[in-house]
């Protein structure tokens, strides 16, 4: 299987194609990718659901193109399409907004402003210039019909994407370890672990450690002591699943640095300083506090679920209070956060940094503290990270 097929969407630059119905979004994405990704028709509303295409895109490497449905009426169905589109906007690294004329551009101003507030680069594309009487200033002028402007648009996306890669292509372990260092990975294989597989954060970390030529020792919590005894010297770094933070901390050598997969992802996918500050809000939680558990993946709830069960129970035990827990999974994230006293975000291994930062920024706008699983668990167990 090729590297392209193995690269998860969370590690790809995500390019969203937006615009009103029938401005030629689907035709444009087909021209950009040189493939029939989306169905093209003169009938309005042909694209009723987002269409995703993972592919290599020139110098940017693996990218995810997202073709979105347009809006053309006030029906309940159209509203549902718009809700889906907002979820895509939240994870978009590069926004390509397609218009046909000045009127279309004026209608897109609220969306452009939405992206600008979040520092998402926007590319304005005037499509169907073969049918237009005037050209829009500062737009890239395209005619899919005769392939005019497609190369220029591709180059513009590539130039923006290169700058994004400098920001998002961060190492998970950073300077915590280097070549020949021994790194121990402690990975519980309980009911929450996918059968026959490792979770994505563990796979990504292992791949990075192999690339850095580290010596990897992988164990379950039950084998930590035996594994440590078999080593000539203490591991430089120990990375554990957050739910066994306390157990591993009690067993680790004093000269080994301890962290968790979720904490590491907090620095790569989000803002570790914001998450640390958010965890301090646990100290001020009162009886009846409202807490949002925010998951980016979707899975069937388990009895031992770390976000839905273990973290809330840790808070109840630590604080001696009752709390109200709301669960948001997948792309769902409440628009109104004002009723929450704390948001606890998962590691975000299946989504991109833009999505996590969108959630952080929304929380900031509502003055609601936000932390993540690993940072919260470390706080609850008195572990400094």
Q: Any alpha helices (H) in the chain, and if so which ranges?
A: 3-6, 25-33, 76-90, 102-107, 109-117, 150-168, 200-211, 224-230, 245-251, 261-269, 272-279, 311-319, 353-365, 373-380
Query: Residue 377, exposed/middle/buried by CB under 10 A (0-12, 13-18, 19+)?
Result: buried
Q: What is the pLDDT of residues 319-355, one digit of tens each?
A: 999 999 999 988 889 989 999 999 999 988 888 888 9
As a whole number of angstroms, the distance between CA 232 and CA 150 comes to 59
Q: Roughly what angle, to the nearest 10 degrees, separates helices 272-279 and 261-269? A: 120
Q: What is the pLDDT of residues 302-329, one digit of tens each?
A: 567 888 889 999 999 999 999 999 999 8
Task: Give me the domains of the chain, ranges plus CATH numbers.
Answer: 3-168 (3.40.50.300), 174-264 (3.40.50.11420), 271-380 (3.40.50.11410)
As a whole number of angstroms, the distance between CA 158 and CA 144 comes to 19
Q: What is the pLDDT of residues 269-301, one digit of tens each?
A: 889 999 999 999 999 999 999 999 999 876 655
Residue 296's CB is within 10 A of a number of other CB atoms, namely 24
Are the C-beta atoms of 52 and 65 separated by less than 8 Å?
yes
Q: How far is CA 234 from the centre of its chain?
A: 34
Task: Say whether pLDDT at 197 is over 50.
Answer: yes
- CA angle, 266 then 267 then 270, to 5°: 60
- For the entire predicted model, the pTM comes to 0.76
Taking residues 238-258, what's their average pLDDT?
93
Task: Say whether pLDDT at 129 is over 60.
Answer: yes
Confidence at residue 4, expressed as pLDDT on a 0 to 100 scale: 39
The SS3 call for residue 123 is: strand
Q: How confident is the model at residue 40 (pLDDT cuts 50, 70, 90)?
A: very low
Task: Say whether pLDDT at 232 is over 80.
Answer: yes
Question: Residue 236 is encoded by which pair of tokens?
Answer: 């430089």
Rounded to whole angstroms, the maximal C-alpha distance in the chain is 78
Question: Residue 374 is encoded by which pair of tokens?
Answer: 């690993």
As a whole number of angstroms, the distance between CA 156 and CA 150 comes to 10
Q: What is the pLDDT of residues 167-190, one digit of tens each?
A: 666 789 999 999 999 999 999 876
Phi, psi for residue 97 in degrees, rounded to 5 = -105, 120
Which among 8, 126, 28 has a CA at the least distance from the CA of 38? 28
Beta bridge partners of 368: none
> Tokens 């401005």, residue?
23
Q: Check residue 148 and report its DSSP letter.
A: B
Above pLDDT 90, what percent of the chain?
A: 57
Q: Check residue 143 and report its DSSP letter.
A: B
As a whole number of angstroms, the distance between CA 350 and CA 11 comes to 9
Task: Say whether pLDDT at 102 is over 70.
Answer: yes
């Amino acid at each position: 299987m090729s590297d392209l097929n193995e690269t998860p969407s969370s590690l790809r630059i995500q390019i969203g194609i937006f615009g009103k119905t029938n401005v030629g979004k689907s035709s444009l994405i087909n021209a950009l990718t040189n493939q029939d990704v989306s169905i093209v028709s003169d009938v309005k509303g042909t694209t009723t659901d987002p269409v995703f295409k993972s592919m290599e895109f020139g110098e940017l490497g693996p990218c995810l193109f997202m073709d979105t449905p347009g809006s053309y009426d006030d029906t309940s169905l159209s509203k549902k399409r718009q809700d889906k589109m907002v979820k895509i906007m939240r994870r978009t690294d590069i926004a390509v907004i397609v218009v046909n004329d000045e009127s279309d551009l004026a209608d897109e101003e609220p969306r452009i402003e939405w992206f600008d507030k979040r520092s998402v680069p926007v590319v304005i594309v005037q499509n169907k210039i073969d049918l237009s009487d005037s050209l829009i200033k500062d737009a890239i002028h395209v005619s899919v019909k005769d392939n005019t402007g497609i190369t220029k648009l591709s180059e513009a996306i590539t130039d923006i994407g290169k700058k994004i890669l400098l920001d998002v292509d961060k190492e998970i372990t950073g300077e915590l370890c280097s070549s020949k260092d021994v790194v121990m990975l402690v990975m519980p294989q309980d009911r929450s672990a996918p059968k026959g597989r490792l979770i994505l954060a563990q796979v990504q970390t292992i791949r990075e450690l192999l690339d850095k030529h580290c010596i990897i020792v992988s164990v379950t919590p039950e084998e930590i002591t035996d594994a440590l005894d078999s080593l000539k010297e203490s591991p430089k770094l120990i990375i554990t699943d957050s739910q066994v933070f306390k157990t591993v901390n009690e067993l680790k050598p004093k000269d080994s640095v301890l962290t968790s997969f979720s904490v590491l992802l907090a620095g790569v996918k989000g803002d570790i300083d914001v998450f640390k500050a958010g965890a301090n809000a646990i100290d001020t939680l009162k009886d009846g506090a409202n807490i949002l558990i925010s998951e980016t993946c979707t899975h069937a709830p388990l009895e031992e679920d770390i976000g839905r069960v273990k973290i809330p129970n840790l808070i109840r035990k630590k604080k001696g209070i009752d709390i109200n827990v709301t669960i948001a999974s997948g792309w769902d994230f409440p628009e109104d956060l004002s009723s929450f006293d704390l948001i606890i975000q998962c590691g975000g291994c299946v989504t991109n940094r833009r999505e996590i930062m969108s959630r952080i920024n929304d929380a900031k706008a509502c003055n609601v503290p936000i932390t993540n699983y690993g940072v919260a668990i470390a706080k609850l167990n008195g572990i400094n990270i």
